[in-house]
Chain A
Amino acid sequence: MRKTAEVVIIGGGVHGCSIAYHLARQGCREVVLLEKETLASGGTGRSAAGIRHQFGTEVNIRLATASVRMMETLAEDLKYAPGIELKQGGYLMLAYSEGTLDQLRRNVELQHSLDLGIPSRILNPDEVKEIVPHLNMEGIIGASYCHKDGHVNPFHVTQAFAEAAARLGVEINTFTEVTGIKMQGHKVTGVVTNRGEISCSKVVNAAGPYGAVIGKMVGLDIPLYPERHQILVTEPLEEFLGPMVISFQHGTYFKQTPHGSLLMGVGDPLHEVKEFNQKSTWQFLEDVAKKITYHLPALKNVRIVRQWSGLYDITPDYQAILGATPKVEGFYLDIGWSGHGLQLGPVVGRVMSEIILGKEPFVNVDVMRLERFETGELYPEPACV
């Protein structure tokens, strides 16, 4: 392991690997990435693997549009032979009440107002049924839909960035856990790990749900907590379902991957544990079985193959915390994605690298700075599941 570096990145998820790649690509030669387990072993690899334009805040929409565009040519651009399994079958967001439909309308209006060419639109129930013919239409009064949304394989996206970064000289250390961060006054001077120390003047916290733990190492109080989310996968079926289907009202989602298996989950923020526990529960199977077969009754004869869970890194406004921290020189944050981090990793890696290298980031992410929790300028994202 290197003893000195220009930048040390903590966390080997898609964000950490993307930052590493983008730093190296811009000529930063001494970059070290530290991961306490294996790459994509945390939230990245445990996610529902969706990519979408359909957000409800301007910054997320701008980031998402750039990120989807990047995914479309990522495997070629990074010369990653296995590919990233991109499928653009759309996202269908169901509305069962006027309130939800109004919110979806506002989201679509905002998406269109930015002139980014996002092909999202509001559908009536007949149009919904055309896209998912087997859907239980009871109670559905409309939906929003964007056919350019879709799916990627999180392990391969992360691996693509990691391999490209390594070719550019980035040192990637797995099974390397950060135990402390060294400081001189208000400046970061190094990182302490279970495998030795590295001197550096810049540290990036991309540790996902452990973001607050890493923050404490430099004396920062970051309002971020882990929340378990569970998911399951079925046996593969013939292709029959294009989009990821989401109901914010039920907290449910389901989709078919290019492999043919169905991924489905139920968000249950009221009851889910808010600690570093990523064990699966029996109750979840019952809950999913009831709720998903309500949406798509034909699925009751499909077999569940496996269930797992992962941790969201939740912030008070369900938005990420990005950028430099004025109180600690040389310390940068890319955490708090609250469940939509995978899909934005490719583009946020570029934004972060620009911030770290003192350039103007190509998407302005000022509203996501840590200080918003002190000034009270929260920036709530309404489209979260």
Chain B
Amino acid sequence: MDDKDIIVCRCEDISLAEIRQLIAKGHHTMDEIKRLSRCGMGPCQGRTCRSIVAQELARAIGKGIEEVVPSTYRPPIKPVKLDAFLRGEGDA
């Protein structure tokens, strides 16, 4: 299968080809790939794509996947409605 047709990040519609291009350009950190492609920035916050990108990166730079530094897990981790923060105790 053509790597242009393999979707790595479903939230942001990023293909494996795009990830490989960024790595080939010299972006060898999870942070750079995320920030330049939006891969992992969608509502699921990278639940699927993080491990795929880490694998690709590890292979490309000849390291073990455990050596690839993950990007920061940012709160609130799961999407939360603004409304949830507006209620005081007792009106839940």
Contact = CB atoms under 8 A, between A and B. Distances in A.
Name which of B35, B36, B79, B82 has the most chain A CB atoms within 10 A of its CB.
B82
A306 B74 contact: yes
Interface residues of A, number: 32
Contacts of B29: 38
A99 B35 CA distance: 40
B76 A304 contact: yes
Name which of B35, B41, B42, B45 has the most chain A CB atoms within 10 A of its CB.
B35
A82 to B, nearest CB: 8
Interface string B19-57: 000000000010110011010011101000000000000
Contact of B79 (A39, A280, A300, A303): A303
Contact of B38 (A234, A259, A290, A303): A259
A348 interface: no
A45 interface: yes
Interface string A75-87: 0000000100000
A305 B74 CA distance: 9
Given A38-B29, A159-B36, A259-B38, A300 B81 contact: yes
A167 B32 CA distance: 20
Interface in B67-89: 72, 74-76, 79-86
Given A286-B85, A289-B86, A293-B86, A303 B36 contact: no
Interface in A106-140: none
A280 B74 contact: yes
Interface residues of B, number: 22
A240 to B, nearest CB: 16
Given A45-B35, A301-B81, A285 B43 contact: no
Nearest to B73: A306
A189 interface: no
A304 B43 contact: no
A308 interface: yes
Given A289-B82, A289-B86, A303-B80, A308 B74 contact: yes
Interface of B is mostly: loop
B31 A41 contact: yes
A350 B31 CA distance: 28
A306 B36 contact: no
Nearest to B74: A306
Given A285-B85, A305-B42, A38 B76 contact: no
A307 interface: yes
A286 B80 CA distance: 12
A307 B76 CA distance: 7
Given A45-B35, A235-B79, A306 B85 contact: no
B76 A285 contact: yes
Contacts of B76: 285, 304, 306-307
Contacts of B81: 300-304
B7 to A, nearest CB: 17
A340 interface: no
A299 interface: yes
Contacts of A299: 82
Contact of A301 (B32, B35, B43, B83): B83
Contacts of B35: 40, 45, 155
25 contacts: A40-B35, A45-B35, A156-B36, A234-B82, A280-B74, A282-B75, A289-B82, A289-B84, A290-B86, A293-B83, A293-B86, A299-B82, A301-B81, A302-B81, A303-B79, A303-B81, A303-B82, A304-B79, A304-B80, A304-B82, A306-B74, A306-B75, A306-B76, A307-B75, A308-B74
Interface of A: 38-41, 45, 82, 155-156, 159, 233-235, 259, 280, 282, 285-286, 288-290, 292-293, 299-308
A-B interface, 5 closest residue pairs, ranked by CB to CB distance from nearest: A289-B85, A303-B79, A300-B83, A306-B74, A289-B82
Given A235-B43, A305-B45, 11 more contacts: A82-B36, A156-B36, A233-B41, A280-B75, A282-B75, A285-B76, A285-B85, A286-B85, A293-B86, A306-B41, A307-B74
